[in-house]
Amino acid sequence: MFWLTDAIEAIRDFMALGGPVLKIIAVAIFMMWSLIVERLLFFRSTMKDMSREIHDQWEARNERRSWHAHQIRELMISQFSLAVNRGISMIQTFVALCPLLGLLGTVTGMIKVFQVLAVSGSGNVRAMAGGVSQATVPTMAGMVGALSGVLLVTLLTRRAMREIEFLEDSLTMDH
């Protein structure tokens, strides 16, 4: 049980080291990963059922060649596409936002360093170190958050496109 308290204490110290912007970055990364996990769960369960249901509805139709049938097919594919792509643009937004928040942390940390320099000159190295850590830690956290999301949002986007194409190909227009 001591490892848990040590881990919590280390996280608390890290968050204090990075300043207030690091808390915002942590929230952004948490929200991004919540959306990623939700999409992964959707692809594993709900999407397969939805695809099968659309395919069964299409196959149950007697007539599939008319303009009206073609419009129904397009509607089914569009609804599936909306469901599959839901949340992916928000994940992409969080991926783009993380480095920008890191840059904001850099700027606020450097402002703190300049304030120390203005008040006490270059002789107070200890006070300047706090500002430098506030400048570098959020930058690193923002980059790590963005890099962790880039790979998965790319995989999710490709999977979504592949599933939509597969559904389009499986809804045949014969009969």
Per-residue CA distances from 56 to 46, 68, 80, 154, 161 (Å):
15, 18, 14, 30, 21
Q: In the prediction, which pLDDT does 24 show? A: 94
- Residue ranges covered by each domain of the chain: 2-170
Q: In the prediction, which pLDDT does 2 show? A: 83
**DSSP per residue over 108-146, as a string?**
HHHHHHHHHHHHHGGG-HHHHHHHHHHHHHHHHHHHHHH
Per-residue CA distances from 84 to 7, 32, 74 (Å):
37, 17, 15
3 state SS for 25-80: HHHHHHHHHHHHHHHHHHHHCHHHHHHHHHHHHHHHCCCCCCHHHHHHHHHHHHHH
Q: Which two tokens stand for residue 97?
A: 């936002």
Q: In the prediction, which pLDDT does 103 show? A: 94
Q: In the prediction, which pLDDT does 4 show? A: 85
pLDDT one digit per residue (tens) for the chain, 175 residues: 788 888 888 888 888 888 889 999 999 999 999 999 999 999 999 999 999 999 999 999 888 889 999 999 999 999 999 999 999 999 999 999 999 999 999 998 888 888 888 887 767 777 777 778 888 999 999 999 999 999 999 999 999 999 999 999 998 776 5
Per-residue CA distances from 39 to 77, 91, 108, 154, 172 (Å):
18, 10, 34, 12, 28
Query: Considering the entire predicted model, what is its pTM?
Result: 0.84
Q: In the prediction, which pLDDT does 175 show? A: 56
Q: In the prediction, which pLDDT does 17 show? A: 82
Longest dimension (CA), the chain: 85
Q: In the prediction, which pLDDT does 55 show? A: 93
Q: In the prediction, which pLDDT does 145 show? A: 95
The Cα 52–Cα 11 span in angstroms is 45
Question: What's the CA angle centered on 96, arms 134 and 16, to 5 degrees?
Answer: 20
